[in-house]
Amino acid sequence: MVEFLFTDEQRARATAEGDRRQAFNERRGMKGRNMAPGKGAAAQRMHQLGAAAEVAVAAYLGAEELLFLDESPVRGSCDLPGIDVKCRSNHKYDLLVQLEDDLTKTYVLVTIQDKKTYIHGFIPGFEVPAVGVVKEFVPRRPCYAIPQSSLRPMELLKKTYRPMELAS
């Protein structure tokens, strides 16, 4: 697990991106995913936390220039080439991957709680069904729950990540 400390610029960038995503969703009348709020301060905060998690992973991997390239948020797109960052609000929580998520991606768990950010580790998508346990935290939305103990260390991803090869 890696503790990530934001610079002021990184924090501002994440906040601005979260605000932009929320404004875009509200203009389009989009609903929150998995029964999450779609409007208001709670929804905006979720977007800000998600963007902060993406900034943390991109900075750790040296790929910040590849962040936030989509003009309109697209559900199912990669946060970074080949990577989907999943943010949770409690440091003890498992990584959650929706059953319909793309298993060709690599999934990274980031938790943000009490102003502390941890990048816990990653798992290649093809391993998710074998390692994850199907749970239904939200009615009619089963997902894979992958224990933190099953995640690979981020140092390994940092050594092997080649974003430009994945982007082409």
131, 109 Cβ separation under 8 angstroms: no
| Phi/psi at 127 (5° precision) | -90, -15
Give residue-wise pLDDT tens across range 120-142: 999 999 999 999 999 998 888 89
Sign of CA dihedral 72, 74, 80, 82: negative
Q: Mean per-residue pLDDT for 5-12?
A: 95
3-state class (DSSP) for residue 72: coil
Question: What does the buried/exposed string (b/e) look like for 53-80 if buried means 16 or more CB atoms within 10 Å of the residue's CB?
Answer: bbbbbbbbbebbebbbeeeebeeeebbb
Which residues are CB-neighbours of 57 under 8 A, at least 6 positions away?
79, 80, 83, 85, 108, 110, 119
Give residue-wise pLDDT tens across range 10-57: 999 999 888 887 777 666 655 645 555 445 566 678 888 989 999 999
Rounded distance between C-alpha atoms, residue 120 and residue 113, angstroms: 13
**Reported pTM:** 0.88
103, 87 Cβ separation under 8 angstroms: no
* Structure tokens belonging to residue 132: 């994850």
